[in-house]
């Protein structure tokens, strides 16, 4: 009944244990590389490495397939649009009606698509190996104000709840003979009114008792400086990887500038 | 209209006070006043005062009482809002500025109080109801409050979850000396644990009493019987009228007072409570398997034949597949394997809007269906959907309003009514379609015994008019007194399918489904009722078989 909204795949691999901020740096740096060296070889290498890392972290292959399925439409659409609108110059390798395909365009279109895929995979690498609580803590440690990170964790916590609630209400109203499937578009849209009203009333009820519960547990107690229980700690490995990533980044920038 | 009137109550450290009363008697309001949420967050006017550790709750914000008062609410889902259990418990401590290493120790300590060590990194959302409430208790206790307030914490739980929570409370009471105030309907449990019972009757504290074991000295008042242990209260009323307090005592105590046993079985034994009708089948389940898209197998190899006019109780622990089965019958879920026929129509090929004319389904939470601006329109929604004419709709709605005594509320938005009334409106709205089969999912959850019986009497009426009833419930008293067939599901499989008398005669089945026989059955067992009349299912049967009972004309 409950769909899964948490992409996190539990595990204890190196990537799982790494500080979320270090992983975020890895994501950012990979994106920078992909744009600094915009070549099909970079994109392919990044794809290969992310796949190895994800599988190496013990994430089952079906999660990778899920990402590919998600990315497939874009992966196909981008090169085609590229070939149509950026045909490039030079001799045509292939002519399909109005489309004149040059070698250059062929490579560029493919590169742009693969680059996007690589970016998606490095992002998913972060999402697969970082649980939501750590993610929120990571963002808080990077300076996100407490109310923002509380709001973010509430959103992450309650999205599945609201989705379940919505399904319950749909079921309850259909059981009372509400027909959501026939008639014109407008009729069907109007048929959702009883569902939305009931969902909103229920959600308001939940949020009211949620607010009471937070207040009862001292949220906003006057004259007290809030502490934070889980502070993220960089261990030696985190430092080592951060340093390596930063050196690599500096090196890459140097190569890009003068190489 | 005042919710509470002239309430005087003093709770001392180490004391355990049970707060009882009907749905809507003001229990929640009183609970919320202990840290100033009433009136500061809820609005409203308060006269008199509430002092917690000497501080007036109106003079300080509710958050400032977090150190003194821990609060546990009814709905587990809306009070656990963090992504991990440890964050949940840390939340209150962080708000109070407790240093991190101390928080770490307190998390372990609080989890050990409720017996949930090892759950620190789990997501609260993925725990069972009983576990969620235990975490809520741990979170409330982590700040070491002087007072723990629990507002009907077991209402939404199945029997297993209930006993988990009660055991945790018992355990922590042995360790902590904080005062506990718990609003509850669970008489059977509280009598063995509490020091005092405080009874709210329409906002007045009608009764506070019972020191230690002395719950017997309850003042004479007839309504007290209604709140005693269901079924057993009736027996006390008839056989031991001078010791009214015993209707609140534990079953062994009542048994002791009744000894020596004076069994005098009726010559022909008990009539079978209700002989199953032999009508045409209305719901036929054939080799049903159901697997959710995420791979969870909810039902396996289920075959059932429910005849027209039956009253079926569908029982089993949470997660056994009861609600899933109801949804498959309603056509909301399509079988993975096998099929379901409702009045001969295959649910796979019949639209739900069509099945809704045959099957009514009152969901567990009334708020999942209530949306109309008035009670009248709420009830009219179903009949209109299935194509009744305006005149018919008006007639049905008027009949329902009258039946449920809802006329004075007909033009009020149902969403602002109290829980008990919302529940009534929801059931009335489903019954208004006049379905041939009525499925009720925990219709009495969160209701006091009196309101529950009102609702169940209405269901009985529908049943007598020929409606087939499928009742999903955890309340074995209801099963014993009203159903004639019991379907026990465990882990999506059919474990047992027979009369209530057969089920309550099978300790093995009850154990597998984590169920307990109804109170009167246990009382009879404690008094060694002879096998030819076992198990006894109702108070009336008990009295019939007891020499010197009112029906004993021999």
CA separation (Å) from B51 to B60, B66, B145, B375, B420?
11, 14, 15, 40, 30
Q: Do B82 and A157 touch (CB under 8 A)?
A: yes
Q: Are A133 and A153 in contact (CB under 8 A)?
A: yes
**pLDDT > 70? residue B148:** yes
Tell me which residues of chain B, numbers 50 to 89, contact chain A at a CB-CB cutoff of 8 Å: 61-67, 69-71, 73-75, 77-79, 81-84, 86-87
Mean pLDDT for A1-25 is 83
Q: Do B332 and A206 touch (CB under 8 A)?
A: no
Contacts of B390 (CB under 8 A, 6+ apart): none
- The pLDDT tens digits of the residues spanning B330-368 come to 999 999 999 999 999 999 999 999 999 999 999 999 999
Cα-Cα end-to-end distance for chain B: 53
Q: Are B138 and B113 in contact (CB under 8 A)?
A: yes
**pLDDT > 60? residue A67:** yes
| ipTM of the shown complex | 0.90
**pLDDT > 80? residue A180:** yes
Q: Are A251 and B126 in contact (CB under 8 A)?
A: no
pTM of the predicted structure, to 2 decimals: 0.89
The answer, for A167 touching chain B at a CB cutoff of 8 Å, is: no
Contacts of A195 in chain B (CB under 8 A): 371
Q: Can you tell me which residue has the tokens 């998390």?
A: B107
**pLDDT > 50? residue B89:** yes
**pLDDT > 50? residue B98:** yes
Residue A113's pLDDT is 95
Mean pLDDT for B488-503 is 95
Q: In angstroms, what separates the C-alpha of A67 from chain B's closest C-alpha?
A: 17
Residue A2's pLDDT is 42
Mean pLDDT for B41-65 is 94
Contacts of B32 in chain A (CB under 8 A): 212
Least confident of A82-96, A228-242, B43-57: A82-96
CA-angle at A143, arms to A138 and A144, nearest 5°: 80
- The residue of A218, A225, A228 whose CB has the most chain B CBs within 10 angstroms, and thus the best one to mutate to test that interface, is A218
CB atoms within 10 A of CB A20: 21
Q: What percent of chain B has pLDDT over 70?
A: 94
Tell me which residues of chain B, numbers 402 to 441, contact chain A at a CB-CB cutoff of 8 Å: 415, 429-430, 433
Residue B225's pLDDT is 66
Q: In angstroms, what separates the C-alpha of B349 from chain A's closest C-alpha?
A: 14
The answer, for B476 touching chain A at a CB cutoff of 8 Å, is: no
pLDDT interval class at B210 (50, 70, 90):
low
**pLDDT > 90? residue B287:** yes
Q: Is residue B467 classed as helix, strand or coil in its secondary structure?
A: coil
Residue B312's pLDDT is 97
pLDDT interval class at B294 (50, 70, 90):
confident
Mean pLDDT for B72-93 is 94
- The pLDDT tens digits of the residues spanning A212-253 come to 999 999 998 999 999 989 888 889 999 999 999 999 999 999
- The pLDDT tens digits of the residues spanning B388-428 come to 999 999 999 999 999 999 999 999 999 999 888 999 999 99
Residue A99's pLDDT is 73
Mean pLDDT for A120-128 is 94
**pLDDT > 60? residue A94:** yes
Of B92, B385, B429, the CB nearest to A218: B92
Task: Kindly list the domain boundaries of chain A, sorted by start residue.
Answer: 1-130+231-259, 146-228
**pLDDT > 80? residue A27:** yes
Q: Torsion-angle region of residue B112: left (phi > 0), alpha (psi -120 to 50) or beta?
A: alpha
pLDDT interval class at B213 (50, 70, 90):
very low
CA-angle at B108, arms to B16 and B78, nearest 5°: 65
Q: Are B420 and B24 in contact (CB under 8 A)?
A: yes
Q: Do A213 and B86 touch (CB under 8 A)?
A: no
The residue with greater pLDDT, B222 or A114, is: A114
Residue A4's pLDDT is 63
Of B63, B352, B430, the CB nearest to A218: B63
Residue B190's pLDDT is 79
Least confident of A80-84, B299-303, B371-375, B454-458: A80-84
**pLDDT > 70? residue A34:** yes
Angle between helical axes of B419-431 and B449-464 (0-180°, round to 10)? 10
What sections of B387-448 are H helices per DSSP?
A: 390-403, 419-431
- Across A2-6, A100-104, B180-184, which has the greatest mean pLDDT? B180-184
Contacts of A83 (CB under 8 A, 6+ apart): A99, A101, A105, A106, A109
- The pLDDT tens digits of the residues spanning A152-174 come to 889 988 988 999 999 999 999 99
What totals of helices (H) and strands (E) does chain B contain, helices first?
Answer: 21, 18
Q: Are B185 and B193 in contact (CB under 8 A)?
A: no
> Of B281, B72, B52, whose CA–CA distance to B168 is shortest?
B72
The residue with greater pLDDT, B9 or B550, is: B9
pLDDT interval class at B214 (50, 70, 90):
very low
Contacts of A157 in chain B (CB under 8 A): 81-83, 125
Q: What percent of chain B has pLDDT over 90?
A: 74
Q: What is the mean pLDDT of chain A?
A: 90
The answer, for B386 touching chain A at a CB cutoff of 8 Å, is: yes
Tell me which residues of chain A, numbers 171 to 230, contact chain B at a CB-CB cutoff of 8 Å: 171-179, 181-182, 193-195, 197-198, 201-202, 205-207, 209-222, 224-230
Q: What is the mean pLDDT of chain B?
A: 90
Residue B208's pLDDT is 78
- The residue of B43, B369, B383, B388 whose CB has the most chain A CBs within 10 angstroms, and thus the best one to mutate to test that interface, is B369
Contacts of B48 (CB under 8 A, 6+ apart): B6, B7
Residue B270's pLDDT is 72
Residue B274's pLDDT is 56
């Amino acid at each position: 009944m409950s769909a899964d909204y948490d992409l996190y795949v539990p595990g204890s691999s190196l990537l799982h244990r790494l500080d979320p901020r270090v992983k975020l740096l890895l994501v950012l740096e990979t994106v920078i590389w992909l744009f600094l060296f915009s070549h099909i070889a970079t994109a392919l290498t990044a794809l290969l490495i992310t796949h190895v890392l994800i599988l190496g972290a013990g994430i089952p292959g079906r999660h990778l397939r899920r990402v590919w399925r998600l990315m497939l439409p874009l992966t196909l659409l981008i090169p085609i649009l590229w070939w149509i609108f950026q045909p490039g110059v030079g001799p045509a390798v292939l002519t399909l009606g109005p489309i004149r395909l040059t070698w250059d365009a062929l490579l560029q279109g493919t590169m742009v698509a693969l680059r996007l895929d690589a970016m998606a995979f490095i992002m998913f690498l972060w999402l697969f190996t970082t649980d939501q609580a750590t993610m929120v803590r990571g963002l808080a440690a990077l300076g996100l104000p407490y109310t923002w990170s509380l709001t973010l964790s509430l959103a992450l916590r309650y999205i599945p709840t609201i989705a379940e609630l919505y399904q319950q209400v749909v079921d309850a109203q259909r059981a009372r003979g509400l027909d959501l499937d026939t008639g014109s578009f407008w009729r069907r849209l109007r048929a959702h009114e009883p569902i939305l009203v009931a969902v909103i009333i229920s959600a308001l009820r939940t949020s009211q008792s949620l607010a009471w519960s937070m207040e009862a547990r001292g949220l906003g107690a006057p004259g007290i400086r809030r502490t934070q229980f889980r502070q993220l700690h960089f261990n030696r490995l985190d430092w080592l990887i951060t340093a390596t990533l930063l050196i690599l980044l500096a090196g890459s920038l140097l190569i890009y500038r003068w190489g | 209209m005042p919710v509470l009137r002239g309430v005087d109550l003093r709770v001392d450290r180490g004391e355990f006070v049970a707060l009882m009363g009907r749905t809507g008697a003001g229990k929640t309001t009183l609970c919320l006043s202990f840290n100033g949420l009433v009136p500061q967050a809820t609005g409203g006017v308060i006269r008199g005062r509430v002092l917690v550790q000497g501080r007036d709750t109106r003079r300080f914000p509710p958050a400032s009482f977090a150190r003194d008062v821990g609060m546990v609410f009814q709905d587990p889902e809306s009070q656990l809002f963090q992504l991990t259990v440890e964050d949940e418990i840390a939340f209150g401590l962080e708000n109070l500025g407790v240093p991190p290493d101390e928080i770490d120790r307190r998390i372990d300590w609080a989890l050990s109080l409720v017996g949930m060590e090892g759950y620190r990194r789990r997501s609260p959302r993925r725990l069972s109801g009983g576990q969620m409430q235990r975490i809520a208790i741990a979170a409330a206790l982590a700040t070491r409050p002087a007072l723990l307030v629990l507002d009907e914490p077991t209402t939404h739980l199945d029997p297993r979850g209930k006993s988990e929570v009660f055991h945790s409370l018992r355990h922590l009471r042995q360790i902590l000396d904080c005062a506990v105030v718990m609003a509850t309907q669970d008489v059977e449990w509280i009598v063995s644990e509490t020091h005092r019972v405080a009874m709210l009757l329409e906002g007045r504290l009608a009764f506070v009493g019972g020191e230690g074991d002395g719950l017997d000295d309850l003042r004479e008042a007839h309504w007290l019987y209604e709140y005693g242990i269901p079924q057993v209260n009736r027996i006390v009323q008839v056989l031991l009228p001078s010791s009214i307090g015993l209707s609140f005592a534990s079953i062994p105590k009542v048994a002791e007072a009744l000894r020596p046993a004076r069994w005098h079985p009726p010559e022909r034994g008990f009539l079978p409570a209700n002989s199953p009708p032999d009508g045409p089948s209305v719901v036929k389940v054939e080799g049903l398997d159901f697997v959710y898209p995420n791979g969870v197998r909810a039902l396996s190899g289920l075959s059932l034949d429910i005849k027209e006019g039956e009253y079926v109780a569908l029982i089993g622990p949470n997660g056994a597949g009861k609600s899933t089965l109801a949804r498959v019958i309603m056509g909301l879920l399509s079988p993975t394997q096998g099929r379901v026929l409702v009045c001969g129509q295959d649910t796979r090929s019949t639209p739900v809007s069509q099945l809704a004319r045959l099957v009514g389904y009152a969901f567990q939470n009334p708020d999942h269906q209530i949306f109309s601006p008035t009670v009248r329109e709420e009830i009219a929604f179903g009949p209109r959907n299935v194509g009744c004419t305006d005149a018919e709709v008006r007639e049905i709605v008027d009949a329902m309003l009258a039946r449920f005594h809802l006329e004075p509320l007909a033009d009020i938005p149902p969403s602002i009514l109290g829980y008990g009334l919302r529940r009534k409106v929801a059931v009335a709205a489903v019954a208004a379609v006049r379905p041939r089969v009525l499925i009720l999912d925990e219709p009495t959850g969160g209701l006091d015994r009196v309101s529950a019986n009102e609702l169940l009497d209405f269901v009985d009426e529908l049943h007598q008019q020929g409606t087939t009833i499928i009742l999903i419930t955890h309340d074995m008293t209801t099963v014993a007194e009203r159903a004639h067939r019991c379907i026990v599901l465990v882990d999506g499989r059919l474990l047992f399918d027979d009369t209530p008398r057969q089920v309550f005669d099978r300790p093995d089945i009850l154990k597998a489904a984590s169920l307990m026989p109804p109170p009167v059955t246990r009382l009879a067992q404690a008094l060694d009722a002879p096998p030819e009349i076992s198990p006894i299912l109702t108070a009336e049967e008990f009295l019939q078989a007891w020499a010197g009972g009112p029906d004993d004309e021999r």
